[in-house]
Amino acid sequence: MPSLHLPSRFSSPSFPLINLTTTKRPISTTAITMSLSSSPSQSVSNNPNEPKDTENLIAQVLKYHNQTKHFFTNYARGPRGLDWANQPNPFRRYVSSPLLPLLHFPVENNQDSTSVSAPLYHSLFKSLPSPKPISKSSVSQLFYDSLALSAWKTTGFSTWSLRANPSSGNLHPTEAYIISPAIDSVCDSAFVAHYAPKEHSLELRAKIPDTFLPSFFPSNAFLIGVSSIFWREAWKYGERAFRYCNHDVGHAIAAISLAAAELGWDVKLLDGLGFKELEGLMGLGIYQGFRIPDKPIKGKFPEIEFEHPDCVLVVFPNGVNDFNVNYKELSSAIMEFGNLEWVGNPNSLSKEHACWDVIYVTAEAVKKPLKIDDKFLVDKFQNSGACSEGSYKGFSAREIIRKRRSAAHMDGVTKIERDTFYQIMLHCLPSGCGSGEKQKRQLALPFRALSWDAEVHAVLFVHRVVGLSKGLYFLVRNEDHLDELKKVTRAEFKWEKPEGCPADLPLYELARGDCQQIAKQLSCHQDIASDGCFSLGMVAHFESTLHSKGAWMYPRLFWETGVVGQVLYLEAHAVGISATGIGCFFDDPVHEILGLRGSNFQSLYHFTVGGPVLDKRIMSLPAYPGPSTDA
């Protein structure tokens, strides 16, 4: 039986197998010169007569990705300490915008006059309930179960908020907007509003023509826009913050998709829209005048607090799949939004700032142009597989979503059964189960919100799963990549299905052995990676994807990891344990363990699942009404 034999810096006496003799080679990047505009909106043109140098844009992405890797000998550049006096306000508000309060709901299932009993969490992966109409109640529920505050925590003199959607360092760079038809008791005309999570309210930004949404989308459809404030993450994490912001976009996409599923709604990315259209829909043209410096600098420049428009999701009744989107006409209609009367000015988040220039240069490089030929497809809902539904504790979706927490420590003791582990993996598959097709297309909840075939896999370090040997495993989420993966990883790997593995779960055992120490080392020496039931690294089909599709796929690969991460968070809580995303890991050592060379596969996000250690010094307080502090 093969087992791992590691080089000296990975040495682990209990992991005695493959002789790793790879030599660490520097990864070359191509120099790139970019035009640094005073307005972010000028980087990518929708004019087909102004072609961009695709290879230069990809070179900038590769330069950023390699520059922001962590190594055993050094970490990516970041602040040497935290500037607490300038910690960004986690709550964006639009000063003078009318505030439209939303409804609140009990976490536990019970019937009342304003809400319908939330469906069981695991039932959503089998089929969606009948769709609810758009109303104040249903829209309130959507935000309450996706992006709202879930609790406040306090200890000593410190108080901070938690949200339903996870975020790197609990810094929450993600903002959200709704573009909606008129809703009784909310707004008497179609409108654009910013979601304010601390108040669980909408801030009215503009009224739009009532004909806008019906001209392009089915009845009872509306849009959710997502944007990122890079400064919030960069304050703590420096240059690597762009990665983490895009993890959080993926977390938000999954959170919105699952909350929508509770209401019988489907969700899809409007990925044919370009940067200018996204900016126009959300009214983010208000942020102008940021000039990217040519090196990291500190100072007072409030313009760095701008919001970068990431994506727009269309939310519509499930079962409606016979509509198309004319992106050319939609773009023309959105351009008219510039003539609307936009209300409110964004609040200030910090007095002083630090600008990590490479973040903003890379954000320019990955802006997607309008793709008028993109096909908008709504595939039939595909249910996810089930091999151990008894592992779930019978919680409603709302209970799981709103009680989700990121574990700070794992106990190093808790174990899960093999079938529970397989059940979690089944819910991580993009194509669902039962169709007889290979894993590739994103058809199952919540992955069906994404508009591309799966590009992200998982290498798993199994520590405490009863009935499953400790060791290294690989979950293949796009089976078109399987042959390539076998060729580019270590020849000694077994690539065999483990005992008891469901036939439609493409999970493979690579090697056996105790990998707790190596998992800890790879995740920046953090015990949490070794003290859980299992940990994993999400490995993306990387450089070839960028070349085949464009530099704009770079953030989308991180979005996909964020969607997988949100599923892992919720699955862990649904079976009675906990989980945590890990953004700090040593990139190339992960690749070396697998035998990967070059950039065709890259590890983008790590995760750990296990029994949490609760800190009894920290007190939990209700999400609403919360304290007056912005934290």
Asked, for residue 548, whether it belongs to a domain, the answer is yes
Domain that holds residue 248: 99-105+118-366
pLDDT at 581: 98
Last residue in a domain, options 366, 392, 427: 366
pLDDT at 22: 29
Last residue in a domain, options 316, 340, 366: 366
Kindly state whether residues 419 and 310 are assigned to the same domain.
no
Mean per-residue pLDDT of the chain: 91
Kindly state whether residues 547 and 495 are assigned to the same domain.
yes
- Per-residue pLDDT band for 154 (boundaries 50, 70, 90) equals very high
DSSP class of residue 612 equals B
Across residues 447-454, what is the average pLDDT? 98
User: What confidence tens digit (pLDDT) does each residue in 17-44 have?
Assistant: 433 322 332 323 222 222 222 222 333 3
Of 4 and 385, the structure prediction assigns the larger pLDDT to 385
pLDDT at 626: 84
The answer to whether the CB of 281 falls within 8 A of the CB of 331 is no
Query: d(Cα 213, Cα 117) in Å, to the nearest integer?
Result: 29
Across residues 326-351, what is the average pLDDT? 97
Kindly state whether residues 335 and 451 are assigned to the same domain.
no
Across residues 349-372, what is the average pLDDT? 96
User: What confidence tens digit (pLDDT) does each residue in 221-246 have?
Assistant: 999 999 999 999 999 999 999 999 99
Percentage of residues in the chain having pLDDT higher than 70? 90
Cis amide linkage into residue 106, ω under 30° from 0: no
Which domain CATH number covers 567?
Answer: 3.40.109.10
| Residue ranges with strand state E in 411-512 | 416-417, 456-462, 465-466, 471-475, 507-512
pLDDT at 616: 87
Across residues 194-200, what is the average pLDDT? 98
- Per-residue pLDDT band for 2 (boundaries 50, 70, 90) equals low
Asked, for residue 580, whether it belongs to a domain, the answer is yes
- Per-residue pLDDT band for 3 (boundaries 50, 70, 90) equals low
Across residues 614-630, what is the average pLDDT? 88
- Per-residue pLDDT band for 10 (boundaries 50, 70, 90) equals low
Kindly state whether residues 328 and 412 are assigned to the same domain.
no
Kindly state whether residues 525 and 580 are assigned to the same domain.
yes
Kindly state whether residues 422 and 310 are assigned to the same domain.
no
pLDDT at 420: 98
**Residue 174, pLDDT above cutoff 70:** yes
**Residue 543, pLDDT above cutoff 60:** yes
- Per-residue pLDDT band for 15 (boundaries 50, 70, 90) equals very low
Query: d(Cα 456, Cα 47) in Å, to the nearest integer?
Result: 32
**Residue 356, pLDDT above cutoff 60:** yes
Sign of torsion, CA 103 105 111 117?
positive
The DSSP code sequence of 234-279 is HHHHGGGHHHHHHHHHHHHHHHHHHHHHHTTEEEEE-TT--HHHHH
Query: d(Cα 131, Cα 66) in Å, to the nearest integer?
Result: 45
Asked, for residue 159, whether it belongs to a domain, the answer is yes
pLDDT at 376: 93
Kindly state whether residues 357 and 427 are assigned to the same domain.
no
Kindly state whether residues 338 and 419 are assigned to the same domain.
no
Q: Which two tokens mark 72?
A: 């055993």
* Closest C-alpha among 209, 509, 259 to residue 399: 259
Kindly state whether residues 522 and 429 are assigned to the same domain.
yes
Pair type for strands 465-466 and 416-417:
parallel
Query: d(Cα 554, Cα 366) in Å, to the nearest integer?
Result: 7
pLDDT at 521: 98
User: What confidence tens digit (pLDDT) does each residue in 69-82 have?
Assistant: 999 999 999 998 99
- Per-residue pLDDT band for 5 (boundaries 50, 70, 90) equals low
Across residues 158-170, what is the average pLDDT? 95
pLDDT at 107: 86
pLDDT at 116: 53
pTM recorded for the entire structure? 0.92
**Residue 504, pLDDT above cutoff 70:** yes
Of 462 and 13, the structure prediction assigns the larger pLDDT to 462
Across residues 419-432, what is the average pLDDT? 98
pLDDT at 277: 98
Kindly state whether residues 359 and 452 are assigned to the same domain.
no
pLDDT at 276: 96
pLDDT at 630: 78
Pair type for strands 416-417 and 456-462:
unpaired
User: What confidence tens digit (pLDDT) does each residue in 104-136 have?
Assistant: 999 876 544 444 578 999 999 999 999 999 999
Structural domain count of the chain: 2
Asked, for residue 630, whether it belongs to a domain, the answer is no
Across residues 617-627, what is the average pLDDT? 91
The DSSP code sequence of 375-407 is ----PPP-PPP-S-GGGS---BHHHHHHH--B-
Query: d(Cα 223, Cα 191) in Å, to the nearest integer?
Result: 11
Kindly state whether residues 133 and 236 are assigned to the same domain.
yes
- Per-residue pLDDT band for 16 (boundaries 50, 70, 90) equals very low
Task: Tell me the CA distances in angstroms from 608 to 111, 182, 455, 528, 577, one per residue in order.
Answer: 36, 43, 21, 7, 11
**Residue 258, pLDDT above cutoff 60:** yes
Kindly state whether residues 137 and 214 are assigned to the same domain.
yes
Q: 223: Cβ–Cβ under 8 A, 6 or more apart, which residues?
A: 178, 179, 180, 213, 217, 270, 281, 312, 313, 314, 315
pLDDT at 17: 40
Q: Which two tokens mark 99?
A: 């505030």
Query: d(Cα 478, Cα 480) in Å, to the nearest integer?
Result: 5
Last residue in a domain, options 316, 349, 366: 366
pLDDT at 21: 29
pLDDT at 170: 94
Across residues 422-446, what is the average pLDDT? 96
* Closest C-alpha among 495, 523, 498 to residue 595: 495
